[in-house]
Amino acid sequence: MDASEILIQNVDKTQLPPLHQKRILAFVNNFLISSCSFLNEFVVKCETKFIELERKLQKVEAALIILEAKLASIPDEEVKGSEIPATEKLENELESSSKEMPFEKEEEEKEQGVKACDHELFKKYFKMVQVGVPTQAVKIKMQAEGLDPNILDNPNTSITSNTDIIS
């Protein structure tokens, strides 16, 4: 009898010859050994890739820390020359007029909020982008620190409470 005939026909399986146990055991052992060796090689490759990725991330993090330190050393306001642009003159006039009416300014800030680019939490991130750090890297840094990275896309967004800035 052929093996395909055994599967198709109704055959009394008690009449079939027994399977060779040593042969089956050899096949099962071969399968287990090859599967285990494949999985071990796969795990070693994955582990080496994770180690390489971790090293790269450490280098990026170190570079980011150095860049943050350099940014922290840059003063917020640069020394102004003899010529002040018209927009800066206008801003200076607005600031001086707001100093005369401090209560009204505080009430307006409470109602309107603070611009994202002027908010103390976000100044360093906007400065990083201004200096030339890739925006995506700054967004990743903001997200790692628990802040909403979408604020970088809208620097003039008004932030009224802490719930607006938490991602």
The pLDDT of residue 109 is: 46
With 0-12 CB in 10 A as exposed, 13-18 as middle and 19+ as buried, what is 128? buried
* Cα–Cα distance, 48 to 134 (Å, whole number): 28
Residue extents of the structural domains in the chain = 21-73, 114-166
- What's the pTM? 0.36
With a cut of 70, list the residues of the chain below it in pLDDT.
1-7, 77-112, 161-167
The pLDDT of residue 108 is: 47
